[in-house]
Structure 1
Amino acid sequence: MGEGGSAADETWTLANFSDTIHRGGVGLWAWSPERRLAKLDALCRVFWDTTGAVVSIDELFARVNAEDRDGMVRDWMASATDPQHYSFDFRIGDGADARWISARGVGGEAGRVGVWIHAIFMDVTERKRAEEAERLLTAELAHRVSNFFTVARALTSIVARDATSMPNLAEDLSRRFGILHEATVLATRPQGLDQGDVRLRDLAERILAPYRDGAVIDIAIEDVAVVAPGTVNDYAMILHELATNSAKYGALSGGGNLRLRGGMANGLLRLAWDESPSRAAAPRADGTGFGSRLLRQTIERSLGGHFDRTIDADGLRFEMTVPAG
């Protein structure tokens, strides 16, 4: 409050109020159960990607993510009669660009003005994405710890078959575990360590090095297939996941054959991983576990590409295509 002024001099207008809550990601809305209409302020219209200030609630429901729609509609309709404070979250749209919204208010007559029940929408997208990233990180850590012990057992079995003495066994295992550690560090290195483009062939050679003596590995990736600094982690993660699965179930568990092909064409990088089953291979998983979700997250969301994977009695064939750069 300025000198000589008073609280009465500082008028609090509706525009002041709207601007303040909008900056906080909060929009005002109201709806009429009888008319099945919703009134949206300017920010709510941005949330719903509509220009209409008054729209059908069925039109809004149609824009809700299919996975959230039934629960959201149930909670929304309950607010017409339930005189309790409510809060329910849902997504508008699909995919990585979906917007998370939290609807909050008081239901029943307590929230009603005439035929309209008033409430707020809050944009909680950033919080939801942070929670999702934390859940993914926790699941990935558990997945990696489990995979490491599985791969350690597989490598020990491979080395033990050909070891001629205990010192030879220990030396070979130490070397392989050292390379495996390097590959794991590479797959999770901080982005700040990226120093420039990396040839995909060099990346594959480094990650597959621990398995060289246990399987026939043929890597033929063109020199033009390079990985940009910001995506080195993504490609290392993909190769590391494929190698780990192969060490569990496929060629890299000992005695199998792996062919890796890659190149660039028409602005796209293509990578094909083709392996025959190992004599010692365990029954292969169905491709619906966390490792598969991690591949999908990395290839489709992070790199904007797609992949196909076929598993049958002849082995595994994996092909991915991503935009170069």
Structure 2
Amino acid sequence: MAEGFEPTGDGWTLANFTAAIHRGGVAMWAWSPTQRVARLDGLCREFWGVSESVVSIDELFARVNAEDRVEMVENWWASEREPQAYSFDFRIGDGAGARWISARGVGGEASRVGAWIQAIFLDVTYTKRAEEAERLLTAELAHRVSNMFAVARALTSIVARDAKSMPLFAEDLSRRFGVLHEATALATRSQHGDHGNVPMGTLAERILAPYRNGANIDVDIADAVVAPPGKVNDYAMIFHELATNSAKYGALSGGGTLTLRGRMEDGAARLTWEEGAAPSSATKAEGTGFGSRLLKQTIERSLGGRFERTIDADGLRFEMVVESV
């Protein structure tokens, strides 16, 4: 090494290197296959939510997300035998607060120090959540494009039934598409901070306006029920999803009755969407498909609310409650 560049001084210590590694989200650990215990450093204990330095492997396994546990345990034991670099990912904990961990090391004898096998854990939660958000965004985009085509077909069918001439048909269809575009633009502008709170009634009316001539629609949402700027697009998506499904299978497919109510009750916004029996013979199983998952994701995760949906011979009832809008 060139003169004057040799590492010296109090800063060149194992403790400082360990601190630097920890700041990078890397934890160090070792485990004994025969004793079925693991030795964890401070950051590793934080990952697992334990206080002891030496912990039973089975206790750690029990803390792994149930969906990941079987594959994770198989990979864990395989890392002892297979003499090659490995990397496997899993979650510790459940729900939105679960931590994503990547276990990395070299299997076989190369990683052994006596009876112990050494490796690292890397916190990859941020990366995994970003990947999940990207996948959801891609799926949502594909779903919305599919929905727009479904809306186009439904609106074309509705307008065609009452059209007296081709020019009137084109004019009416263009107007309905224009209103739908305005509703989408309203949500987009609000999402980017160009507007304040948006009355929920206004948003619902914009989205349902293209279906007005084909169904009996009654919107009664109190002025106090509003969507804050950052959540307008969420509510627009919910109304649009419900309207799209109704246009394909329910009251908005022609001649049906839709009632939309909104009230503030004890500080919570309660929205109720009720449809009479669908005039169409088309049916669809409840709770299936990406649309249902998107509704659940939006209402429960983004808005922090809850909802119930029932479909029977009398029609559909959808009710959602958001504690604070």
Cα drift, residue 234 of structure 1: 1.2
| Corresponding residue of 1:7 | 6
For the pair 1:145 / 2:145, whether they are aligned, the reply is: yes
Gap change, CA 1:46 and 1:189, over 3 Å in 2: farther
| Corresponding residue of 1:134 | 134
2:100–2:123 Cα contact (<8 Å) kept = yes
Cα deviation digits, residues 292-314 of structure 1 (max 9, x gap): 11011101111111111111222
1:100–1:124 Cα contact (<8 Å) kept = yes
Cα drift, residue 56 of structure 1: 1.1
Residue pairs, 1:117-132, within 5 angstroms: 117-132=117-132
Q: Paired residues, what number?
A: 322
| Corresponding residue of 1:219 | 219
| Corresponding residue of 2:316 | 316
| Corresponding residue of 1:54 | 54
2:189–2:195 Cα contact (<8 Å) kept = no
For the pair 1:93 / 2:108, whether they are aligned, the reply is: no
What code does the residue aligned with 1:178 have? G
Q: Secondary structure at the match of 2:164?
A: coil
Which piece of structure 1 moves more, 117-126 or 16-25? Answer: 16-25
| Corresponding residue of 2:206 | 206
2-structure distance, mates of 1:291, 1:187: 19
For the pair 1:114 / 2:114, whether they are aligned, the reply is: yes
2-structure distance, mates of 1:42, 1:189: 47
2:37–2:54 Cα contact (<8 Å) kept = yes
Cα drift, residue 9 of structure 1: 2.2
2-structure distance, mates of 1:149, 1:34: 61
| Corresponding residue of 1:232 | 232
| Corresponding residue of 2:73 | 73
Cα drift, residue 181 of structure 1: 1.8
Q: Secondary structure at the match of 1:90?
A: strand
Provide the TM-score with structure 1 as the length reference.
0.95
2-structure distance, mates of 1:203, 1:112: 63
Cα deviation digits, residues 196-254 of structure 1 (max 9, x gap): 11211111111111111111111111121122222111111111111111111111111
Gap change, CA 1:164 and 1:205, over 3 Å in 2: same
Cα deviation digits, residues 240-293 of structure 1 (max 9, x gap): 111111111111111111111111112211111111233235222432210011
Cα drift, residue 185 of structure 1: 3.4
2-structure distance, mates of 1:128, 1:13: 33
Gap change, CA 1:190 and 1:84, over 3 Å in 2: farther
Residue pairs, 1:267-306, within 5 angstroms: 267-280=267-280, 282-306=282-306
2:259–2:273 Cα contact (<8 Å) kept = yes
Cα drift, residue 193 of structure 1: 3.0
1-structure distance, mates of 2:266, 2:260: 20
Cα deviation digits, residues 128-183 of structure 1 (max 9, x gap): 11111111111111111111111111111111111111111110000001111222
2-structure distance, mates of 1:8, 1:64: 41
What code does the residue aligned with 1:163 have? A
Cα drift, residue 189 of structure 1: 4.8
2-structure distance, mates of 1:285, 1:187: 29
1:102–1:121 Cα contact (<8 Å) kept = yes
2:256–2:279 Cα contact (<8 Å) kept = yes
Gap change, CA 1:195 and 1:188, over 3 Å in 2: closer
1:89–1:100 Cα contact (<8 Å) kept = yes
| Corresponding residue of 1:25 | 25
Gap change, CA 1:188 and 1:311, over 3 Å in 2: farther
1-structure distance, mates of 2:188, 2:256: 27
Provide the TM-score with structure 2 as the length reference.
0.95
Gap change, CA 1:262 and 1:190, over 3 Å in 2: closer
| Structure 2: tracts of 5 or more residues without a match | none
What code does the residue aligned with 2:74 have? R
Cα drift, residue 63 of structure 1: 1.1
| Corresponding residue of 1:180 | 180
2-structure distance, mates of 1:187, 1:128: 28
Q: Secondary structure at the match of 1:7?
A: coil
Gap change, CA 1:315 and 1:187, over 3 Å in 2: farther
